[in-house]
Amino acid sequence: MTSQNQKFIELEIAEALQEDVDKGIARIPSHIMDNLSLVSGDIIEIIAKHASVVKVMRALSKDVNKEIIRLDGIARSNISASIGDKIKISPAKIQEAKSVTLSPLQEVRFSDDPKEYFHTKLMHKPLAPNQQTVIDVFGTRLSYIISKTDPKGYVLVTPQTKIVVSDTPYSGDLKATGVTYEDIGGLKNETELIREMVELPMKHPEVFQKLGVGAPKGVLLTGPPGTGKTLLAKAVASETDASFFLIAGPEIMSKYYGESEKHLRDIFTQAEKNAPSIIFIDEIDSIAPKRGEGIDQTEKRIVAQLLTSMDGLKSRGQVVVMAATNRPDDIDEALRRPGRFDREIRINPPDEPGRKEILKIHTRGMPLDKDVNFDEIAYKTIGYTGADIEVLCKEAALKSIKPYFAELKNIQEKVPTQILDKIKVTRQHFLDATKNVEPSAMREVMIQKPHTTWEDVGGLEDVKDKLRELVELPLLRPDLFAKAGIKPSKGVLLTGPSGTGKTLLAKAVANEANANFISVKGPELISKWVGESEKHVREIFKKARQVAPAIIFFDEFDSISKARGMSMSDSTERVVNQLLTELDGIEELEKVVIIAATNRKDLIDPALLRPGRIDSIVDLPVPDKDTREKILQVHTRNMPLDKSVDIKEIVEKTEGWTGADLESICRNAGVVAIKRFYKSSADKSKELKITKDDFDRGLLEVSKSTEKPITVREERHKEHKQENKDKDEKKDKKKA
């Protein structure tokens, strides 16, 4: 393949770009390309333990003047090299392929001959004999070995190339490349930490020997489910070419005495024999809970055995124990000390760039429409984990197939290519999918992501501006507050009579700020069991921190925040104490804002309303004339109004009415119109119209919420007060 006169340049391997994965592309800086007289699209030879060929492209501006080459996991596997290794590159001599034979690395069955499809996927791709290539078949990655080429050597697939796909799997000792670092999105920092903890000791133990320090023994990965803990462990094992031993917590449990511990010992023994090895314990909290907390003897013995096995590892650095859990506080403390699990890495839900990267990974083989914008989808999927985004992509793909269900049902054999070619996943499919998929970390606390906008809130312009300043701006532009050297407000209290729009405003600001919305109804938090109410509060704030930016909305806030000493219930006071702790405790609230609503501000504990807690109070007044008009315009914008309806006339009749009252008037008017239309439905030529008379009748059926009806109790109290007053006056007359 190589000749004596070839010019070589040595470069360091870096991770490939997402858009280059599985395409046989290498990216190198411009100065290297100029040095080798290369242009984009040329074929280069890459040499480490083995040699292969890839198509070269210019690197992005961030790689200018760097001595690196970006290769994906398949290319790295083909030359037996990994990220950080030095390899040689040079221009390659390549021939046009007459024929290429592919052998699958796994059992694959096709309903029809895939040659034509494979030919399209491999077109203009450089291939090397006895090396691996990946073909994406409708979202599924299939690994194949180039078992034969004609002519022999490096070849390029052309329109004239004959593709032969073998039915029998490859019989050699090669196996399909597992999960690579390119299959993990949004975890750049975490991946780097893992690599320096695991990869470096395995590949270069002499570094630690020189320093005179022991290599790390274990890494504990924590974080919510679906963030990529198990995936990261598999990628490390694949990239290091280490033996991988998986311990699924419940699987090692046995009803026979001593069997569970023996199974654990055997795995550690096998790992040492096959070093370098990675032992991965998934859901470690299920087999190593805290001792002495009502657990049975078997679990205690397993914890003791795990401690002994980790301490007894002789091949330090060559055998690394990785574990994953979403409940780190339930693990026995003895495991979490240095010398066992040396480092704990928290894996949180991805940020916006991370979500974009994950979207690119899960849509590699998707026939995407031109209108699909990953930036937009990443922006709208705040709080989503990697697993949630994977489900979202699947849901979008299913929605793209839905219009063709009827056609597909009638097809008895294979689906015609012309139908498959028509299927496209569009922007709207993704937007519809977001309505069906919600963040998994939020399912316990979030009812629904609000779709209310500022346009849905009639009037209240001053209040809107205030909320933009207090809530929207800190969540969207926290960098401005950092530059100013100040901390944004933690909480906002919305006060005002019932029906003035407190809840509506909270939903609108959550939607406009693109934040997760956690709605908490005050009375639901209170439990008769000691400690349960405070636990609910802690869980809500914990979830909010995980999926930040988030808004926690407390409706009827006065029911859980009564001034201490006023309530006869201890649970209410404990809830207040817990709220105070969460608001300004040791753990900071970052990108989490509290919005509370009440019409009884006087009942709330003053400690909650001091500066640094819920310190911004926004009063919502009863709407004035202009505001009432805007509210009515919002509620009537989709109503088929008759010409007789005059909004300004309704405004004049509703002095002192709240937004909720006005909505009720519109609804009642609509109901009156429907009844009238239903009775005269014999005449189908008529259209449904809502008239002035309908609004007049609707107005009669609604009473002002600001005018409270006097209860019997209040009436008796008033009478009793008057009686006492009369008695006092009689006494004063007698004295006089």
Q: What share of the chain in percent tops pLDDT 90?
A: 2
C-alpha dihedral sign at 382, 387, 390, 394: negative
Asked if the model's pLDDT at residue 312 lies above 60, the reply is yes
Report pLDDT for 405: 67
Lowest model confidence (mean pLDDT) among 10-24, 141-155, 320-334, 438-452: 438-452
Report pLDDT for 716: 46
Residue 511 · residue 451 · CB < 8 Å = yes
Lowest model confidence (mean pLDDT) among 29-43, 281-295, 539-553: 281-295
Asked if the model's pLDDT at residue 144 lies above 80, the reply is yes
Pairing, β 68-71 against β 9-15: parallel
Q: How many CB atoms lie within 10 A of CB 411?
A: 11
Q: CA-to-CA distance for 263 and 594, rounded, in angstroms?
A: 50
Q: CA-to-CA distance for 2 and 7, rounded, in angstroms?
A: 10
Q: CA-to-CA distance for 483 and 468, rounded, in angstroms?
A: 19
Q: What is the mean pLDDT of residues 540-553?
A: 81
Asked if the model's pLDDT at residue 395 lies above 80, the reply is yes
Of 112 and 236, the structure prediction assigns the larger pLDDT to 236
* Residues in contact with 269: Cβ distance below 8 Å, sequence separation at least 6, in sequence order: none
In angstroms, the first-to-last Cα distance of the chain is: 126
Number of Cα atoms under 13 Å in the Cβ half of residue 224: 23
Helix axes 352-362, 386-401, angle to 10 degrees: 50
Residue 604 · residue 560 · CB < 8 Å = no
Q: How many CB atoms lie within 10 A of CB 395?
A: 18
Q: CA-to-CA distance for 472 and 486, rounded, in angstroms?
A: 16
Q: How far is CA 237 from the centre of its chain?
A: 25
Asked if the model's pLDDT at residue 722 lies above 70, the reply is no
Six-digit token string for 410: 């009638």
Q: How many CB atoms lie within 10 A of CB 290?
A: 17
Asked if the model's pLDDT at residue 202 lies above 80, the reply is no
Q: CA-to-CA distance for 139 and 367, rounded, in angstroms?
A: 9
Residue with tokens 């009252």: 661
User: Over the stretch 6-28, which tens digit does the pLDDT of each residue have?
Assistant: 678 889 998 888 888 888 899 99
Residue with tokens 């939020």: 442
Report pLDDT for 56: 92
Report pLDDT for 28: 92
Report pLDDT for 210: 75
Asked if the model's pLDDT at residue 707 lies above 70, the reply is no
Q: Confidence class of residue 570 from pLDDT cuts 50, 70 and 90?
A: low
Strands of the sheet with 277-282, listed across from one edge: 243-248, 277-282, 319-325, 218-222, 343-346
Q: CA-to-CA distance for 273 and 518, rounded, in angstroms?
A: 51
Report pLDDT for 704: 63
| Nearest-5° Cα angle at 287, 281 to 290 | 120
Q: CA-to-CA distance for 280 and 324, rounded, in angstroms?
A: 8
At 614, the amino acid letter reads I
SS3 722: helix
Report pLDDT for 172: 63
C-alpha dihedral sign at 310, 311, 314, 318: positive
Asked if the model's pLDDT at residue 233 lies above 60, the reply is yes
User: Over the stretch 581-602, which tens digit does the pLDDT of each residue have?
Assistant: 787 765 667 778 888 888 888 7
Q: CA-to-CA distance for 313 and 276, rounded, in angstroms?
A: 12
User: Over the stretch 342-365, which tens digit does the pLDDT of each residue have?
Assistant: 888 888 888 888 888 899 888 887
Q: CA-to-CA distance for 276 and 381, rounded, in angstroms?
A: 39
SS3 626: helix
Q: CA-to-CA distance for 387 and 168, rounded, in angstroms?
A: 33
Report pLDDT for 447: 45
Asked if the model's pLDDT at residue 146 lies above 80, the reply is yes
Number of Cα atoms under 13 Å in the Cβ half of residue 392: 34
Of 414 and 258, the structure prediction assigns the larger pLDDT to 258
Q: What share of the chain in percent tops pLDDT 70?
A: 83
Q: CA-to-CA distance for 26 and 46, rounded, in angstroms?
A: 9
Residue 595 · residue 615 · CB < 8 Å = no
C-alpha dihedral sign at 475, 480, 483, 489: negative
- Max CA pair span of the chain: 130
